[in-house]
């Protein structure tokens, strides 16, 4: 909602970057929660002084898996959640020409981050469900709980690297993925009346809102 607010004199580009900042906050929260779970799991392995209620774990984790599956499905079906076709942006092109290597860009960064967050919760819930099942049938194997937490935490953290890379590229105003600097320059020089270009800059307000500035000699 914030990212759709119109530009003002003080915010001439609008509030698009709030989407990227929200995605960064979501990913960082995943890291904090996962770090806490890893710490608690390691403490349990070291102390071995804890009790597990397998029946309660089974019921809770099964419910959590179901809820997270529904949420993941809803977010995955969201038009902003993934890039199909134009991916929510308009390719920079002129009649009869197209930029080479212009791959579709992902849609809303915040929706992608929310989807990753839900997937992370789903993986953790699955790990608890697996551990609870093992402990329910073999109570002496209670160490399965912290071990499964450590194991699945690796996958949760790994799922955040792609969105972190994209967020870093946007915040550092790097050239957007799928856009080639030389191709844009050649496209501009191919416009009738353009004799030269300099100070070409390509960046993105979000992954789906690209920006360009250039001095054109005519």
DSSP letters for 157-205: HHTTHHHHHHHHHHHTTPPPTT--HHHHHHHHHTSTT--EEEEEEEEEE
| Helices 17-47 and 109-137, axial angle in degrees (round to 10) | 20
Q: Which helix (H) or strand (E) holds 39?
A: helix 17-47
* 153 pLDDT more than 70: yes
What pLDDT does residue 76 have?
A: 78
The structure's pTM equals 0.68
What pLDDT does residue 93 have?
A: 45
Q: Tell me the pLDDT tens digit for each residue of 54-95.
A: 889 899 989 999 998 998 888 877 655 444 333 344 444 444
Query: How do the domains of the chain map onto residue ranges?
Result: 15-83+105-172, 173-218
Q: Tell me the pLDDT tens digit for each residue of 97-148.
A: 444 444 444 556 777 778 888 888 888 888 889 999 998 898 888 888 889 8
Average of per-residue pLDDT across 192-207? 88
Tokens of 40: 């608690």
Which has more confidence, 169 or 92? 169
Which has more confidence, 106 or 162? 162
What pLDDT does residue 162 have?
A: 86
Average of per-residue pLDDT across 37-59? 88
What pLDDT does residue 107 have?
A: 58
């Amino acid at each position: 909602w914030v990212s759709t607010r119109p530009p003002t004199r003080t915010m001439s580009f609008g509030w698009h970057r709030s989407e990227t900042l929200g995605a960064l906050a979501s990913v960082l929260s995943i890291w904090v929660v996962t770090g806490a779970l890893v710490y608690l799991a390691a403490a349990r392995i070291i102390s071995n002084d804890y009790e597990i209620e397998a029946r309660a774990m089974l019921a809770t984790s099964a419910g959590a898996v179901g809820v997270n599956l529904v949420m993941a499905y809803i977010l995955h079906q969201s038009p902003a959640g993934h890039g199909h076709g134009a991916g929510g942006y308009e390719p920079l092109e002129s009649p009869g020409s197209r930029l080479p290597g212009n791959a579709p860009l992902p849609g809303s960064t915040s929706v992608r981050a929310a989807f990753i967050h839900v997937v992370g919760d789903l993986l953790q819930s699955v790990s608890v469900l697996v551990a609870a099942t093992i402990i329910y049938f073999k109570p002496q194997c209670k160490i399965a709980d912290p071990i499964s937490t450590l194991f699945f935490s690796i996958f949760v953290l790994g799922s955040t690297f792609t969105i972190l890379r994209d967020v870093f590229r946007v915040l550092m105003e790097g050239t957007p993925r799928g856009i080639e600097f030389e191709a844009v320059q050649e496209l501009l020089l191919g416009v009738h009346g353009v004799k030269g270009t300099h100070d070409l800059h390509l960046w993105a307000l979000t992954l789906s809102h690209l920006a360009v500035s250039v001095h054109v000699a005519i």
